[in-house]
């Protein structure tokens, strides 16, 4: 219940847009299922989309490496394993697994727009309920934005601003700046998403 309350108050202007493709949330634990239930209404409003949630087991064969911290998993490998489970629309996985990417030891999220898949890791978002939900919805909005054809934005308050750390994520909003909002509306109207062409 607390997730729904903390994430209440949609951020987008969905009433001005046509309905977008479905967003399929893939969850791997009770914690990420709770996060998904809290952020789904905002994602649905931000992207004018129907949200479906599916439960799955952590994909086997995802590359990992042992660090001084617990094992971390390759975000790229994670996305490659997701390609085979993608439903109609786009797929966003919410995982507890700590992710890495070459040059980044801590990855909050990663997208592969050509396949319509994204992953968000809540491993580094802290244990406070409010922080977890806010950071998850901002990161999910950012990664889904890439799937809907949006690039990084220079506005530090826009969801499409690149987060170098949690301070960037905490500062930005779970919505788009007017420029990114306009691009999203155009992309939805023209169905301009690379994964739709596959």
Residues involved in catalysis = 143
Other beta carbons less than 10 A from residue 13's beta carbon? 16
What are the Cα distances from residue 192, in Å, to 25, 146, 150, 164, 172? 21, 12, 10, 28, 26
CA pair distance 41, 188, nearest whole angstrom: 19
In a 13 Å sphere around the CA of 50, the CA atoms on its Cβ side amount to 6
């Amino acid at each position: 219940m607390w997730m729904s309350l903390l994430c209440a108050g949609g951020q987008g202007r969905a009433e001005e847009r046509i309905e977008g493709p479905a967003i399929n949330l893939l969850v791997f634990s009770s914690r990420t299922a709770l996060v998904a239930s809290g952020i789904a209404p905002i994602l649905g409003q931000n992207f004018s989309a129907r949200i479906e949630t599916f439960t799955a087991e952590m994909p086997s064969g995802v590359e990992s490496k042992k660090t001084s911290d617990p094992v971390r998993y390759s975000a790229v490998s994670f996305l490659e394993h997701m390609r085979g489970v993608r439903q109609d629309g786009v797929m966003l996985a919410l995982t507890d697994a700590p992710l890495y990417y070459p040059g980044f030891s801590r990855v909050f999220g990663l997208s592969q727009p050509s396949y319509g898949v994204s992953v968000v890791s809540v491993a580094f978002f802290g244990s406070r309920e409010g922080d977890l939900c806010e950071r998850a919805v901002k990161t999910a909005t950012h990664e889904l934005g890439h799937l809907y054809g949006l690039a990084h934005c220079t506005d530090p308050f826009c969801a499409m601003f690149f987060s170098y750390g949690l301070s960037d994520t905490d500062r930005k909003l779970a919505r788009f700046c007017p420029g990114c909002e306009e691009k999203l509306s155009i992309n939805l109207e023209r169905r301009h998403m690379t994964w739709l062409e596959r």
